């Protein structure tokens, strides 16, 4: 006997991974320069030099220390360094005790969800959303409740969230800057959300937590990314260095439980307990040490900004509509027919490989990941134009 639920997660193919595997096969057939793979969120900017220098310094440690276990929550000095960096940036007073280091945002989110829910609870997500949220919510025995984002801005539709919250709601997950839309939630909207969550927590006599998934916090093009724990007390922040320092394979991040959170000490112990239960203790030790030296290293967003500008200009010239991206490295483009999968198949015929929006829980769009080379962006533009022309010609024929 096996666990059928786990079997289901293993057997269900990730559309994003499938598209990326197809891209690799296709590149082998017709040449890499002729295939435009926009599927994965793998940073195209190299990790900063400071990371390499920090690795080299860490390698000087005695091997038993370097490769040994750390405390389950991570090295205290590293957590202290992360806390000090947050304090400098957000005028807070966190300490090592507010942080639990994790293997990336994935571990951070699954730990947090398990820590603050009980089986049978509901967790609200804003659609379109990162597909793994559903897996983590359901594997904690909870129900994933989808609430559509605002149709034009892709901001949180706060009234719709209010309507979705019921006696079993334990948390709302928000992700800003957003994957897949590139939206950055405004302070004003987050304040409206906080007012709703405060009211609901009072009415329901139970805390409704806000889980902020923030791996793209530093990847923005001028927009303010408000520090949400300063807006809503029951906020837990899940962070990773996968995107900001281009370290997705190294699996390093953290959960922050701020002291403003009622019962913060107990919540932190539940986080530690969930880490223990899920087997996520002692985040990768080498990269804990790297963090201590790199917490204030800025993200290099210049290449993403250049890609974003070229892609937006090219697609808008070809007649596409999209959400103006304020952060992350994804462009959310309106499909040229209602069926995103059908649009994807026609794009694929032009060697264009975005991700259909069905993967993110909504119809009618595709996500174009622009964390690729500049040449991939510029090289793809004739194909985007040809695809749009094909739809236009078909429309004229049918008219």
Which parts of this chain interact with ligand PLP (CB under 6 A)? 41, 104-106, 130, 175, 179, 213, 215, 240, 242, 248, 253
For ligand PLP, the closer CB: 232 or 239: 239
Parallel/antiparallel/unpaired status of strands 253-256 and 235-240? antiparallel
- Omega before 212 within 30 of 0, i.e. cis: no
* Half-sphere exposure of residue 34: CA atoms within 13 angstroms, side-chain side: 9
- To the nearest whole angstrom, how small is the minimum distance from the Cβ of residue 179 to ligand PLP? 4
Nearer to ligand PLP, 44 or 198 (CB): 44
Contact 99, 79 (CB under 8 A): yes
- For ligand PLP, which is the closer residue by CB, 183 or 387? 183
Residue placing its CB nearer to ligand PLP in the complex, 234 or 243: 243
Q: Give least dist CB 274 to ligand PLP, A.
A: 16
Smallest gap from Cβ 132 to ligand PLP, in A, equals 7
In the complex, the smallest distance separating the C-beta of residue 280 from ligand PLP, rounded to whole angstroms, is: 11
Q: Between residues 54 and 238, which has the closer beta carbon with respect to ligand PLP? A: 238
- Supply the minimum distance, in Å, between the C-beta of residue 214 and ligand PLP: 8
Helix, strand, or coil (residue 45): coil
Question: Which residues are paired to 212 by β-bridges?
Answer: 174, 237
What is the rounded distance in angstroms from the CA atom of residue 324 to the CA atom of residue 161? 23
User: Least distance (Å) from ligand PLP to the CB of residue 24?
Assistant: 19
Could you tell me which of 291, 286, 250 has the C-alpha nearest to residue 60?
286
Residue among 170 and 246 whose Cβ is closer to ligand PLP? 246
Q: Where are the beta strands (DSSP E) in 71-184?
A: 99-102, 122-127, 143-148, 169-175
Residue 150 Cβ, how far from ligand PLP at the closest point, in Å?
Answer: 18
Minimum CB–partner distance for residue 47 and ligand PLP (Å): 14
Residues in a beta bridge with 332: 323, 367
Run of H or E including 365:
strand 365-369
Residues in the chain: 399
Q: What is the CA radius of gyration of the chain?
A: 22
Q: Is 333 helix (H, G, I), strand (E, B) or coil?
A: strand
Please tell me the distance from the alpha carbon of residue 22 to that of residue 37, in angstroms, as a whole number: 9
Least distance to ligand PLP from the beta carbon of 62, Å?
29
User: Residue 374 is inside which H or E element, if any?
Assistant: helix 374-398
Closest CB to ligand PLP among residues 178, 189: 178
Decide whether 220 or 240 has the Cβ nearer to ligand PLP.
240
Give Cα 197 to chain centroid, integer Å: 22
Least distance (Å) from ligand PLP to the CB of residue 93? 26
15 vs 381, beta carbon nearer ligand PLP: 15
DSSP classification of residue 71: -
Nearest CB to ligand PLP, comparing residues 169 and 359: 359
Q: Please, what is the Cα angle at 247 between 269 and 272, to 5 degrees?
A: 5
User: Which residues have CB under 8 Å from 136's CB, separation 6+?
Assistant: 106, 109, 110, 113, 114
């Amino acid at each position: 006997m096996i666990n059928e639920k786990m079997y289901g997660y293993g057997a269900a193919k990730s559309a994003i991974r499938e598209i990326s595997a197809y891209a690799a096969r296709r590149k082998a057939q017709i040449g890499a320069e002729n295939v435009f793979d926009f599927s994965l969120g793998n940073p195209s900017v190299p990790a900063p030099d400071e990371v390499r220098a920090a690795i080299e310094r860490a390698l000087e440690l005695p091997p038993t220390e370097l490769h040994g276990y750390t405390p389950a929550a991570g090295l205290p000095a590293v957590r202290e360094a992360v806390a000090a960096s947050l304090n400098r940036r957000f005028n807070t007073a966190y300490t090592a005790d507010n942080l639990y280091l994790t293997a990336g945002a994935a571990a951070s989110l699954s730990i947090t969800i398990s820590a603050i829910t009980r089986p049978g609870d509901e967790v609200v997500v804003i659609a379109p959303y990162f597909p793994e949220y559903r897996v983590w919510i359901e594997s904690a025995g909870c129900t994933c409740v989808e609430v559509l984002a605002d149709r034009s801005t892709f901001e949180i539709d706060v009234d719709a969230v209010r309507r979705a919250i019921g006696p079993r709601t334990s948390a709302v997950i928000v992700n800003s800057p957003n994957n897949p839309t590139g939206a950055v939630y405004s302070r004003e909207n987050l304040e409206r959300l906080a007012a709703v969550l405060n009211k609901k927590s009072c009415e329901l006599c139970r805390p409704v937590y806000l889980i902020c998934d923030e791996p793209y916090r530093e990847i923005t093009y001028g927009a303010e990314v408000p520090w949400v724990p300063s807006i809503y007390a029951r906020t837990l922040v899940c962070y990773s260095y996968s995107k900001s320092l281009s370290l997705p394979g190294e699996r390093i991040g953290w959960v922050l439980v701020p002291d403003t959170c009622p019962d913060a000490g107990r919540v932190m112990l539940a986080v530690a307990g969930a880490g223990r239960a899920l087997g996520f203790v002692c985040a990768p030790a080498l990269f804990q040490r790297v963090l201590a030296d790199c917490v204030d290293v800025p993200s290099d967003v210049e290449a993403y900004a250049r890609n974003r500008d070229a892609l937006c200009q090219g697609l808008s010239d070809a007649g596409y509509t999209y959400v103006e991206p304020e952060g992350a490295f994804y462009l959310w483009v309106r499909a040229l027919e209602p069926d995103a999968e059908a649009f994807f198949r026609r794009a694929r015929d032009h060697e264009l490989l975005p991700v259909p929006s069905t993967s993110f829980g909504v119809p009618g769009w595709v996500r174009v990941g622009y964390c690729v080379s500049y040449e991939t962006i510029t090289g793809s533009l004739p194909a985007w134009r040809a695809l749009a022309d094909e739809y236009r010609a078909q429309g004229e024929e049918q008219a």
